[in-house]
């Protein structure tokens, strides 16, 4: 075995100064009295292998009077009938200690011995072990121990011991060259159930030479590497192996290390440098493994291809997992899965983990947990999903709804569940985030929009039909077009000024009356009254509507000859519309209605509501049947169109009637 050249560090007390709980002023000279202190009670059976940290408080450092009246500086920290803790033992006090230990026998009542802060030569360390081994002591703890002299090979008889658990914490070797195996062998061959060597920069440990009694091994916080226990077939009773905080790197090596540990149930290999390289493809775990702690390593998604098939509790927190791959080997027994502090972007389903009861995915990058999760994870009892950067949107509603029906299965609700996005909602707790059914359910939204549209269209159509809005819009458009064209082309056109006293609108069926009665009675022979008739004055080449608009514009009054025929005529209605429009736009009373024949209300189409309104106001001149009344009628009409027309090309002089 090669000499090891480790530089050794002085270890300081990791857990501070132990203090006194029970202090009896013991004198070593009076051994009987001393022993008597331990004989009072028998211990109840210890079921845990590791003695827990003792609940001690700081007090003064008492002094210990030794056999030759020399004052030792040990601290007797704990002294009850079954426990003794001695502190601060230097190399030259070892003989006193050994003398003390030699008083103990197989039948004494002392069960727990703790030595704290002790500097001792290797030779004396072995002497201490040899003295303790055959006594009644079951739990032996050595904290903060410095091994001073060369580590030589020592023979050790382990037989006839009551010892159950040895704990060495924070040990250091103060020599540079020594045979590592001499050190390891003393421990690896021990016939006890539990061995702990922690916080000691241990770089290796030997495989026991014959089937070992170890049930529990704890080598946490050392420097063990992948080489440890490779192919070791003798740890057949080992149930718990704790290798937290070491230098393990390859998952395949961990697999092969544990393969022959036929009783292994619990492996804690957290806080190492482990990763799983798929290429190695060497991943056959011992089937007994139920609890596996792989937290704080360097695992990625591939770790799911290398898991013990019967594992029940799996801790993968603080690794670099992005997704739980879909097609991995089923882990039917898995009950507890911890993937907190990884990089998951979505909730894993439970398809590969049918029986999952507890899932922790806190502090990942899950934006919107999908609702699939709750369908596939039927057995889930607790879900920890807080501290994720939730995006508060419609998709999150399923998750929030799950909380409502979950009956407290969401751990940490509501304070750990906070919106991260969008920025406007950042910091809002999910429980306070609400979105209506309408804004999230597209079907409902579509239906609502559709219904509203249909109703609107229906209402508009009915209104259009009833008020003939399209017709009016068309007319408005024509009107503005004509006006615009007129303005653009001849702004100063003299035609734009009034040219006629009256524009006459009538139905073709009433033209006989217009030509035989109306025109002759209005137009005087001297031509002083200018009447506009469409067949006489309309300019060919322009559209009828344009003509209508133009001539109504140029006429002082518009005379409408109303009759059932008029009502039937589309053009007449246009004329009435534009004349009426002018009436409103110029605010002058330019409309004259002559009722040639009575028009029954039912004859007027519904959309001619303007005409209806005018008729209802009865502001029309009725053509009298009696001849005698005709004179007055014409006089009335002439008076209505009486105006001084400005001088224009067509009108030579201004005349009044
Ligand atoms: C795994 O180990 C870490 C410390 O390394 C510890 O905090 C955690 O509780 C352990 N997980 C389980 C399931 O025991």
Q: Mind listing the pLDDT tens digit for each residue in 110-169?
A: 899 999 999 999 999 999 999 999 999 999 999 999 998 888 888 889 988 999 999 999
270 in contact with ligand 1, CB cutoff 6 A: yes
Query: 107: CA distance to ligand 1 center in Å?
Result: 39
Last residue of a domain, one of 200, 217, 236: 200
> Quick check: 61 pLDDT over 60?
no
Comparing 315 with 486, which gets the higher pLDDT?
A: 315
Comparing 324 with 489, which gets the higher pLDDT?
A: 324
Mean pLDDT for the stretch of residues 206-210: 95
311-327: string of b/e by CB count within 10 Å (b at 16+)?
Answer: bbbbbbbbbebeebeee
How many angstroms separate the most distant Cα atoms in the chain?
Answer: 166
- Which of 127-136, 561-570, 580-589 comes out lowest in average pLDDT? 580-589
What pLDDT does residue 238 have? 97
> Quick check: 339 pLDDT over 80?
yes
Query: 315: CA distance to ligand 1 center in Å?
Result: 7
What DSSP string runs through 186-206?
Answer: HHHT---SEEEEESS-----P
Of 246, 248, 268, the residue with max ligand 1 atoms within 8 A of its CB, to mutate for a pocket test, comes to 268
266 in contact with ligand 1, CB cutoff 6 A: no
- Same domain as 43, residue 168: yes
Query: 191: CA distance to ligand 1 center in Å?
Result: 28
- Residue 528 CB contacts under 8 Å (≥ 6 apart), including other chains: 653, 655, 656, 657
Of 219, 221, 293, the residue with max ligand 1 atoms within 8 A of its CB, to mutate for a pocket test, comes to 293
Query: 207: CA distance to ligand 1 center in Å?
Result: 26
Res. 59 pLDDT band, cuts 50 70 90: very low
- Same domain as 569, residue 461: no
Of 219, 274, 315, the residue with max ligand 1 atoms within 8 A of its CB, to mutate for a pocket test, comes to 315
Q: Can you tell me the distance from the alpha carbon of 483 to that of 469, in angstroms, rounded to the nearest whole number?
A: 21
Q: Is 173 helix (H, G, I), strand (E, B) or coil?
A: strand
Res. 648 pLDDT band, cuts 50 70 90: very low
Whether 353 is covered by a domain: the verdict is: no
Query: 290: CA distance to ligand 1 center in Å?
Result: 14
Give the helix/strand (H/E) hosting 622.
strand 620-622
Last residue of a domain, one of 424, 452, 467: 467
Helix ranges (DSSP H) in 50-121:
94-102
Whether 69 is covered by a domain: the verdict is: yes
Ligand 1, atom 7: closest residue by C-alpha: 295
pLDDT in tens, 409-437: 889 988 999 999 889 889 999 888 887 77
> Quick check: 637 pLDDT over 90?
no
What pLDDT does residue 77 have? 57
Q: What is the mean pLDDT of the chain?
A: 79
Q: Is 268 helix (H, G, I), strand (E, B) or coil?
A: strand
- Same domain as 124, residue 64: yes
Whether 302 is covered by a domain: the verdict is: no
- Same domain as 145, residue 14: yes
Query: 352: CA distance to ligand 1 center in Å?
Result: 23
What pLDDT does residue 318 have? 97
Number of domains in the chain: 3
Query: 268: CA distance to ligand 1 center in Å?
Result: 8
The number of residues in the chain equals 657
Comparing 197 with 438, which gets the higher pLDDT?
A: 197
- Same domain as 141, residue 179: yes
- Which of 121-135, 206-220, 382-396, 493-507 comes out lowest in average pLDDT? 493-507
pLDDT in tens, 461-520: 888 777 777 777 777 777 777 667 666 655 445 445 777 888 888 888 888 888 888 888
- Which of 85-89, 310-314, 453-457 comes out lowest in average pLDDT? 85-89
Last residue of a domain, one of 153, 185, 200: 200
- Same domain as 631, residue 507: yes
Q: Can you tell me the distance from the alpha carbon of 362 to that of 392, in angstroms, rounded to the nearest whole number?
A: 17
464 in contact with ligand 1, CB cutoff 6 A: no
The number of the ligand 1 atom at minimal distance from the alpha carbon of 314 is: 13
Query: 358: CA distance to ligand 1 center in Å?
Result: 15
Q: Which of 66-80, 171-185, 523-537 has the highest mean pLDDT?
A: 171-185
Q: Residue 72 is part of a domain; what is its CATH number?
A: 3.80.10.10
What pLDDT does residue 6 have? 36
pLDDT in tens, 25-58: 232 333 333 333 332 222 233 333 333 333 333 3
What pLDDT does residue 593 have? 82
What pLDDT does residue 362 have? 95
Whether 544 is covered by a domain: the verdict is: yes
Whether 475 is covered by a domain: the verdict is: no
Mean pLDDT for the stretch of residues 223-232: 95
281: exposed, middle or buried (C-beta count within 10 Å: 0-12, 13-18, 19+)? exposed
273 in contact with ligand 1, CB cutoff 6 A: no
What pLDDT does residue 543 have? 76
- What proportion of the chain, given as a percentage, has pLDDT over 90? 38
Whether 62 is covered by a domain: the verdict is: yes
Comparing 608 with 557, which gets the higher pLDDT?
A: 557
- Same domain as 631, residue 520: yes
The number of the ligand 1 atom at minimal distance from the alpha carbon of 336 is: 13
Mean pLDDT for the stretch of residues 373-390: 89
358 in contact with ligand 1, CB cutoff 6 A: no
- Same domain as 185, residue 88: yes
Q: Can you tell me the distance from the alpha carbon of 20 to that of 12, in angstroms, rounded to the nearest whole number?
A: 20
- Same domain as 459, residue 599: no
- Same domain as 145, residue 22: yes
Whether 249 is covered by a domain: the verdict is: no
- Which of 2-6, 304-308, 529-533, 602-606 comes out lowest in average pLDDT? 2-6
pLDDT in tens, 345-377: 988 888 899 999 999 999 999 988 877 777 788
Comparing 352 with 548, which gets the higher pLDDT?
A: 352
Query: 84: CA distance to ligand 1 center in Å?
Result: 31
Q: In which domain, by residue range, is 161 found?
A: 1-200
Q: Is 113 helix (H, G, I), strand (E, B) or coil?
A: strand
- Same domain as 125, residue 12: yes
313 in contact with ligand 1, CB cutoff 6 A: yes
pLDDT in tens, 176-189: 888 889 999 999 99
Whether 333 is covered by a domain: the verdict is: no
> Quick check: 393 pLDDT over 90?
no
What pLDDT does residue 566 have? 81
**How far separated are the first and last CA of the chain, in Å rounded?**
145
Comparing 404 with 367, which gets the higher pLDDT?
A: 367
Do residues 269 and 240 touch, judged by C-beta distance below 8 A? no
Q: Which two tokens stand for residue 361?
A: 């995915």
Q: Residue 526 is part of a domain; what is its CATH number?
A: 3.40.50.10140
Q: Is 610 helix (H, G, I), strand (E, B) or coil?
A: helix
The number of the ligand 1 atom at minimal distance from the alpha carbon of 296 is: 5
> Quick check: 96 pLDDT over 80?
yes
Res. 644 pLDDT band, cuts 50 70 90: low
- Same domain as 543, residue 462: no
The number of the ligand 1 atom at minimal distance from the alpha carbon of 313 is: 13
What pLDDT does residue 640 have? 77
Comparing 534 with 367, which gets the higher pLDDT?
A: 367
Q: Give the count of beta carbons closer than 10 Å to the beta carbon of residue 100.
A: 20
**What are the C-alpha distances in Å from 474 to residues 470, 478, 480?**
6, 6, 10
- What proportion of the chain, given as a percentage, has pLDDT over 70? 81
Do residues 400 and 429 touch, judged by C-beta distance below 8 A? no
Strand partners, 500: 555
The number of the ligand 1 atom at minimal distance from the alpha carbon of 270 is: 5
293 in contact with ligand 1, CB cutoff 6 A: yes
What pLDDT does residue 31 have? 33
Q: Using DSSP bridges, classify how beta strands 75-79 and 83-89 pair: parallel, antiparallel or unpaired.
A: antiparallel
Number of H helices, E strands in the chain: 18, 26
């Amino acid at each position: 075995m090669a000499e090891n050249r480790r530089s050794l560090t002085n270890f300081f007390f990791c857990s501070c100064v132990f203090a006194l709980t029970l202090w009896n002023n013991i004198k070593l000279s009076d051994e009987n009295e001393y022993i008597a202190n331990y004989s009072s009670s028998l211990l109840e059976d210890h079921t845990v292998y590791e003695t827990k940290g003792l609940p001690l408080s700081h007090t003064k450092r008492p002094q210990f009077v030794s056999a030759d009246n020399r004052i030792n500086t040990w601290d007797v920290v704990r002294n009850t009938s079954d426990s003794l803790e001695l502190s601060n033992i230097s190399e030259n006090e070892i003989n006193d200690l050994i003398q003390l230990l030699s008083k103990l026998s197989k039948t004494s009542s002392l069960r727990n011995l703790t030595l704290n802060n002790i500097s001792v030569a290797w030779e004396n360390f072995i002497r201490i072990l040899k003295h303790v081994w055959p006594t009644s002591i079951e739990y032996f703890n050595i904290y903060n121990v410095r091994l001073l002299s060369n580590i030589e090979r020592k023979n050790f008889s382990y037989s006839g011991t009551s010892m159950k658990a040895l704990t060495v914490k924070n040990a250091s070797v103060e020599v540079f060259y020594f045979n590592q195996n001499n050190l390891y062998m003393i421990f690896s061959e021990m016939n006890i159930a539990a061995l702990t060597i922690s916080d000691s920069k241990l770089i290796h440990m030997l495989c026991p030479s014959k089937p070992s009694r170890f049930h529990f091994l704890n080598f946490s916080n050392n420097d063990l590497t992948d080489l440890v226990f490779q192919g070791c077939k003798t740890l057949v009773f080992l149930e718990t192996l704790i290798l937290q905080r070491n230098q393990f790197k390859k998952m395949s090596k961990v697999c092969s290390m544990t393969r022959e540990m036929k009783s292994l149930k619990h492996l804690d290999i957290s806080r190492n440098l482990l990763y799983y390289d798929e290429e190695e493809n060497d991943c056959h775990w011992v089937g007994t493994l139920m609890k596996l702690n792989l937290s704080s390593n360097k695992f990625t998604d591939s770790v799911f291809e290398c898991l013990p098939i019967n594992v029940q509790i799996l801790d993968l927190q603080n690794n670099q997992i992005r997704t739980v791959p879909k097609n991995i080997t089923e882990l039917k027994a898995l009950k507890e899965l911890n993937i907190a502090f990884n990089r998951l972007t979505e909730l894993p389903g439970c398809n590969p983990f049918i029986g999952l009861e507890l899932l922790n995915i806190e502090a990942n990058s899950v934006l919107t947990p999908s609702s699939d999760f709750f369908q596939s994870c039927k057995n889930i009892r607790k879900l920890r999903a807080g501290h994720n950067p939730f995006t508060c949107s419609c998709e999150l509603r399923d998750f929030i709804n799950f909380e409502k029906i979950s009956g407290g299965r969401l751990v940490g609700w509501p304070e750990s569940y906070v919106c991260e996005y969008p920025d406007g909602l950042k910091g809002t707790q999910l429980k306070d985030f609400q979105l209506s059914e309408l804004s999230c359910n597209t079907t409902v939204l579509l239906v609502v929009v559709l219904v509203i549209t249909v109703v609107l269209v229906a209402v508009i159509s009915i209104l259009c039909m009833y008020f003939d809005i399209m017709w009016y819009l068309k007319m408005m458009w024509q009107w503005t077009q004509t006006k615009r064209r007129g303005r653009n082309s001849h702004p100063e056109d003299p035609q734009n000024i009034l040219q006629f006293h009256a524009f006459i609108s009538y139905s073709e069926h009433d033209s006989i009356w217009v030509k035989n009665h109306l025109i002759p009675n209005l137009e005087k022979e001297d031509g002083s009254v200018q009447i506009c008739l469409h067949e006489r004055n309309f300019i060919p080449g322009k559209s009828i509507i344009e003509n209508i608009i133009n001539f109504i514009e140029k006429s002082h009054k518009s005379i409408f000859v109303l009759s059932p025929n008029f009502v039937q005529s589309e053009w007449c209605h246009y004329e009435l519309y534009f004349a009426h429009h002018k009436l409103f736009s110029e605010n002058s009373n330019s409309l004259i209605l002559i009722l040639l024949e009575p028009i029954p209300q039912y004859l007027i189409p519904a959309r001619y509501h303007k005409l209806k309104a005018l008729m209802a106001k009865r502001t029309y001149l009725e053509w009298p049947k009696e001849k005698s009344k005709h004179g007055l009628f014409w006089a009335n009409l002439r008076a209505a169109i009486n105006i001084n027309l400005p001088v224009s090309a067509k009108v030579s002089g201004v005349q009044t009637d």
